[in-house]
Structure 1
Amino acid sequence: MNFDMGRAWNHAVELIKGSFKLQLVIAGLFILVPSAIAFLIAPEIIVPPENPGSTDIFAPTPEAELGTSLLGFVLSIVQMIGLIAILALMARSRPTVGESLGIALRSLPTLIGVVLLIVIGAIIIAIPFALVFGAGMMGLGSAGGFGSLGVTAIIIAIAALVFFFYIYTRLSMIMPVVVLGGERNVLSTIKDSWRLTGPVAWRLLGFYVLLFIAAIVISFPLGLLIGGASAIGGEAGGAVFAAMLVNLVVSAVLNIVMMGVLAAVFYQLSGTSAPDIAETFQ
């Protein structure tokens, strides 16, 4: 199997154009509006405080921090439903907004289960790695090899970054497999994503890296805008809110593009052209 980047991008654009207005509506209702409300209630959810460890007497109480955490969790779930619904709109069957939201709600338990399983697996892998890495760094330090210590740390950091992107690539089809493929079994979802991406993993990784760089180029000026607004108007000032709205609109559009890319990659890797794409996994 050969992955064609140009074909995937062109198909993503077509999928986005097919229901862009509806995608914007869902992005507005489930990403933009909830984020704006959360910012008004607890600005630190969107804009982290400059001194999170401050001992100021006006620092938030544990109860307030718990409330902020719960609000952040609810916001994450709402946004996740929106992203799933946006992806569902790109199904071959061309569902309505109501149908796409129904698909999102049915897909949500499976995707939450997948996330929990991946997090548990990551913790299990990370603990022994951290222990070995820490012991190695302490050994180098005690031996006086501080120069080689820094070089080793850089090499390990680069290797870890490559490993992270590779694993992300192999698991990137999880959401399309669930939403567009109709899979509801957590383990089967991970296995299907791993199988689809296996033959083209490195080429697909290069495609994602290019898109990631493009997203950074677009988002960087917005970060500067928010930082400047925060310096002028304070953390919760009107200037920051206006800057955040601009950032959220751009983020919503970028999320739509991301869903279009995932859908296009899924269709290409699965070789799906028929309306009933669930047959791919039967």
Structure 2
Amino acid sequence: MKFDMGRAWSDAVAMLTANKDLVLIMGAVFLFLPSLMLAVIAPGTELEQAAQNPDAMQAAFAAYMAENWPVMLVYGLASTIGTLAILALLGRSQRPTVGEAIGIGAKAVLPYLAASLILGFLIGIAAVLVGVAAATAGVAVGVILGFVVVILAILLMIRMVLIAPVMAIEDKLNPIAAIKRSWSLVKGNTRYVFAFMVLLIIALIVVSMVLGIIFSLISAMAGSGEVALWIDGILSSLMGAVFSLLFLAIYAAIHRQLAGPSTETISETFD
């Protein structure tokens, strides 16, 4: 089946429209509020100040994580569970209740993190091999191999883009099985899915730049201090939550198109 970008976009919009009330509630609880909590409790001002110096940035990041790891842990778990729950809500033919969707997300969070670690490990091994090749064969070879690894990593991430939908929608909680399933679903459509994601990211970058200018003006009017921190946190968290919901609907729509009708839908057709 050839991937249809227009159909994926239409399906994503239809999913969000059909489930808007529940999606907005879950997006607020699991995406907006954790992001706002992180922005207010652990704003990361030191990281912004050290961004221009790689050495200072590394030290600042280590200090930031050492001080704020409990907040980061809560944020990561909440947003991951929410992501999987929203995918279940959007993608399952028999729509679960909010409680059931949250249960699905909680059950899938550890397998999803395990699959992410496996992919990160594979990319890390490739980067180490490139470093060894650069040290033994020369910088030029290392640069070429590094470029190849980046391309392969991008292709790998495109092939793996459906891991979360596979776990949340199909209930495949074995990390290896979910990786294989995502690989097989995207196979043959990698370039189309890649092009679609690139176009979507470019569009969202343009929108975020425009909104960023508007938000900066609003924050500047608030001055500095606690009020400005809250305003900046609310605006940035709101934009992040909206973009995340859009991406989740896109992932669910891609899965629906490439996976075809679920077994529940087929059985309903013949009942």
User: The TM-score by the shorter chain falls in which range?
Assistant: 0.7 to 0.9
Instruction: Say whether the 8 Å CA contact 2:87–2:165 is kept in structure 1.
Output: yes
2:50 corresponds in structure 1 to 51
Matches within 5 A, 1:1-282: 1-44=1-44, 48-51=47-50, 65-90=65-90, 91-133=92-134, 138=139, 153=143, 159-224=148-213, 229=219, 233-234=223-224, 237-275=226-264
Structure 2: distance between partners of 1:272 and 1:162: 32
Instruction: Say whether the 8 Å CA contact 2:127–2:149 is kept in structure 1.
Output: no
Structure 2: distance between partners of 1:275 and 1:111: 24
Quick one: structure 1 residues 18 and 134, their matched pair in 2 at CA, closer, same or farther if it must change by over 3 Å? farther
Deviation at 1:163, TM superposition (A): 2.9
Q: Which runs of 5+ in 2 are unaligned?
A: 267-271
Instruction: Say whether the 8 Å CA contact 1:11–1:264 is kept in structure 2.
Output: yes
Instruction: Say whether the 8 Å CA contact 2:123–2:153 is kept in structure 1.
Output: no
Structure 1: distance between partners of 2:25 and 2:242: 11
Q: Which moved more, 1:219-228 or 1:203-212?
A: 219-228
Q: Which moved more, 1:9-18 or 1:160-169?
A: 160-169
Partner SS state of residue 180, structure 1? helix
Q: Deviations over 1:214-250 (max 9, x none)?
A: 121122234445666479845x542243133112112
1:146 corresponds in structure 2 to none
Partner SS state of residue 187, structure 2? helix
Instruction: From the two aligned structures, give the one with the greater helix fraction.
Output: 2
Structure 2: distance between partners of 1:233 and 1:48: 21
Q: Deviations over 1:135-167 (max 9, x none)?
A: 5554x5xxxxxxxx9xx95x7776554333311
Partner SS state of residue 43, structure 1? coil
Quick one: structure 1 residues 223 and 237, their matched pair in 2 at CA, closer, same or farther if it must change by over 3 Å? farther
Q: Deviations over 1:152-186 (max 9, x none)?
A: 95x77765543333111100110111110110111
Deviation at 1:25, TM superposition (A): 0.9
Partner SS state of residue 188, structure 2? helix
The RMSD of aligned alpha carbons is 3.1
User: What fraction of aligned residue pairs are identical, expressed as a percent?
Assistant: 28
Quick one: structure 1 residues 76 and 3, their matched pair in 2 at CA, closer, same or farther if it must change by over 3 Å? same
Structure 2: distance between partners of 1:237 and 1:134: 50
Instruction: Say whether the 8 Å CA contact 2:126–2:149 is kept in structure 1.
Output: no
Q: Which runs of 5+ in 1 are unaligned?
A: 141-148, 278-282
Structure 2: distance between partners of 1:10 and 1:183: 26
Quick one: structure 1 residues 65 and 11, their matched pair in 2 at CA, closer, same or farther if it must change by over 3 Å? closer
Structure 2: distance between partners of 1:8 and 1:196: 15
Q: Calculate the TM-score normalised by the size of structure 1.
A: 0.80
Partner SS state of residue 132, structure 1? helix
Instruction: Say whether the 8 Å CA contact 1:233–1:240 is kept in structure 2.
Output: no
Which letter does structure 2 place at the counterpart of 1:133?
A: A
